[in-house]
Amino acid sequence: MTKIARRLQLSRVTVYRYLQMQEPPQPSATHLREHHVIDPWKPYLVQRWNAGCRNALELWRELRDKPGAQPSSRTVARFLEVLRRDSGSYRSFRQVAPVALYTQQTERHRPLTALQAKRLWLSDPDTRTEWLEAYRVALCVREKPLAEAYVLTQRFLTMTRERGGDKLDQWVRDAVASGISQLVTFAAGVQRDYAAVKAGLTLEWSNGQTESQIQRLKLLKRQMYGQAGFPLLRKRVVHREPVLPVRHKRHAVGRAAA
């Protein structure tokens, strides 16, 4: 077991867990960071801001006495800095007269980055929050090509999840007819490698692990600046040292005794 762990650069606990699995482990999904520890407290902080409280430390102490996950004092101070900037009260730290500057129901969200928007386009609709879905709908309403691209993207993703290879031909025709340059280019690539794509969307077998090993070999060759022949490359693959060697308990005991 230790040799397997060292060769695969995994902990022995992970190796034992894999041995007990009936099926190979699935890759972990990438999730958008949608919530922050201060989000549940924003309505309360806005209420206290409207009541005239401008002291971040005082507000943090009030939150500290309440149940639930507590933000740090610095996090509370950063949120109040946003309120000060929005209201133009940059140097307002003392108690002031109550004034309704904000409504408690107002949700404050950061705009999505380009990468987050791309992940939103590729995500499963059932896993989105209400706000993310509303954000997507607003984008589609504003830009009609985005709405058409979203429908075609989701159709292709559905084919990959449900092995709907029989729908590939119609999808390619619709993608070309859309006139969206990115989808037209993608459809052309699908047509060039049609047999492989159709098999990937129909059969249960995958070439993913093989492609991963090929990418690892390419990385090893790049590390040697393309000067490695097959004998040297083989030695690096077979005899490579693990990044985190497995430590034997008896060695640790021996060092402690010494």
Per-residue confidence (pLDDT) for residue 233, from 0 to 100: 83
Per-residue confidence (pLDDT) for residue 71, from 0 to 100: 86
pTM exceeding the 0.75 threshold for the entire prediction? no
Per-residue confidence (pLDDT) for residue 256, from 0 to 100: 43
Per-residue confidence (pLDDT) for residue 252, from 0 to 100: 41
Per-residue confidence (pLDDT) for residue 198, from 0 to 100: 92
Averages of pLDDT over each 10 residues, the chain, 258 residues:
82 85 69 65 84 86 82 88 72 54 51 81 84 84 89 93 91 94 94 92 83 85 81 80 48 43
Separation between Cα atoms, residue 100 and residue 118, nearest integer Å: 37
Per-residue confidence (pLDDT) for residue 32, from 0 to 100: 46
Per-residue confidence (pLDDT) for residue 248, from 0 to 100: 46
Tell me the CA distances in angstroms from 208 to 73, 156, 213, 222, 239, one per residue in order.
46, 18, 9, 21, 24
Q: Is 253 exposed, middle or buried (0-12, 13-18, 19+ CB in 10 A)?
A: exposed
- The residues, ordered by sequence, that sit 6+ positions from 142 with a Cβ below 8 Å of its Cβ are none
